[in-house]
Amino acid sequence: MMPADPLDPVAHGATLTIDLDALVANWRLLGERAGTEASAVVKADAYGIGIEPAVTALARAGCRTFFVAHVSEGIRARKVAPEATIYVLNGLLPGSCDRYAEHALSPVLGSHEELLEWASFRQTGAKVRPAALHVDTAMNRLGLWAGEGLNLARERSGVIAAADIGLLMSHFASSEDETDPANARQIAAFAEIAAALPEIPASLKNSSGHFLKDCPSYQLTRPGYALYGGNPTPGKPNPMRPVVGLEATIIQVREVEAGTHVGYNGRWTAKGKRRLATICLGYADGYPRNGSWTDTTTGGAALLDGALCPFVGTVSMDLIIIDVTEAPAGAAQRGAHVTLIGGQLDLEAVGAGAKTIGYEILTNLGRRYARRYLGL
């Protein structure tokens, strides 16, 4: 028996379109804006769009440096980018050095213990690429605390030299909010440590960092979300091109009278006569159940022929009900397509409707859709 054609929309019910040309254009735009080399952060399956196609397209366009979260993701990126520098953000799990050697991956070292473990692994004569050193300037999550980093930097022939550090980096905690005074403090703390290790290339900017005033670009930037079309300047027009579009098919249309309860547990009640449509997509596809629209909470929406159609009741595993009463006459038909991500339903709007952020919408994109890649 033949498996279902991965592109056959009628076999799937929902189609995810991923525009790799837009991805590459976004990467170029960020590099030009920074005036320095831009890497690409492709952790979490390239924020849900697929690590192999994303890395292939970006490497072909000239991207030489990638960041992933885990060694397993690094191995996948390595297969399609044999020459690239691939940094693993989560760094060294105890005893993992040989995996880095085997796949020519570079750990992002985030503590003194990791520095020591890597330095002694190098002393065994292992052939490895340079590592990165992560300095924590705000988050208290990963990285050497900045003061500790400064002390190590001053020991000229110490562990930093022994570990062969090829990149010094830190990560913003709130760069999407340009009014947050924490940004300036992080910029200053990182400048101090970068000045103490002037021979090591440095990297500070994530997506939103590209749009902060008074932030140096150093030698490398590390955008993720904005590459995939997310808005790095929330509340302002999005400078990025959309990369992801999601469409689902209507399977049924019906009319209900005032007082009708709809969906699991009847959590939504019609306030008047309404036209409802049921679409082929649900939480098993990665659409958050928190997008449910009940009598007491607002939720997500779909676009039908340009009209915004709010969800009705709870998001189920494979289905969502939408209110198509306000859609243009005749648009709501069995077999018609509605947009879940696209147009005014950008990643930020979809995230807000589901009480989360666009990042989580992207990284949860399901495996069940027909996936159509443009520009492959």
Among 236, 264, 271, 273, the one annotated catalytic: 264
Our answer to whether residue 355 is catalytic in this structure is no
CB of 48 to ligand PLP, least distance (A): 12
From 8-16, 190-198, 216-224, 237-245, give the range in contact with ligand PLP by CB under 6 A.
Answer: 216-224
Q: Is 224 in the site for ligand PLP (CB under 6 A)?
A: yes
CA distance 204 to 215: 9
* 113 phi and psi angles, rounded to 5 deg: -60, -45
Task: State the DSSP code for 355.
Answer: T
Of the residues 171, 217, 312, 320, which one makes contact with ligand PLP according to CB under 6 A? 171
Contact between 54 and 40 under an 8 Å Cβ cutoff? The reply is: yes
Among 43, 100, 225, 287, the one annotated catalytic: 43
Tell me the DSSP string of 229-292: T--SSTTS---SPP-EEEEEEEEEEEEE-TT-EESGGG-EE-SS-EEEEEES--GGGT--GGG-
Q: Is 207 in the site for ligand PLP (CB under 6 A)?
A: yes
Identify which of residues 43 and 76 has a Cβ nearer to ligand PLP in the complex.
43
Q: Is 168 in the site for ligand PLP (CB under 6 A)?
A: no
Of the residues 41, 55, 81, 189, which one makes contact with ligand PLP according to CB under 6 A? 41
CA distance 285 to 9: 15
CA distance 150 to 193: 6
In terms of C-beta distances under 8 Å and separation of at least 24 residues, what long-range contacts does 269-275 make, across chains too? 269/295, 274/312, 274/323, 274/325, 275/323, 275/324, 275/325, 275/327, 275/332
Q: Which amino acid type is present at position 295?
A: D
From 72-80, 220-228, 237-245, 365-373, give the range in contact with ligand PLP by CB under 6 A.
Answer: 220-228
Q: Is 222 in the site for ligand PLP (CB under 6 A)?
A: yes
Helix (H, G, I), strand (E, B) or coil at 342: strand
Task: List the one residue out of 190, 195, 197 whose CA is nearest residue 146.
Answer: 190
Task: List the one residue out of 106, 136, 102, 103 whose CA is nearest residue 118.
Answer: 106
CB of 305 to ligand PLP, least distance (A): 33
CA distance 176 to 76: 30
Q: Is 358 in the site for ligand PLP (CB under 6 A)?
A: no
Annotated binding-site residue? 141: yes
Q: Is 197 in the site for ligand PLP (CB under 6 A)?
A: no
CB of 292 to ligand PLP, least distance (A): 27
Interaction mask 320-349, ligand PLP, x per CB under 6 A: ------------------------------
From 111-119, 223-231, 273-281, 292-300, give the range in contact with ligand PLP by CB under 6 A.
Answer: 223-231
Of the residues 206, 231, 249, 325, which one makes contact with ligand PLP according to CB under 6 A? 206
Our answer to whether residue 43 is catalytic in this structure is yes
Write out the catalytic residue numbers.
43, 264
Give contact residues for ligand PLP (rule: CB under 6 A): 41, 43, 89, 171, 206-207, 222-226
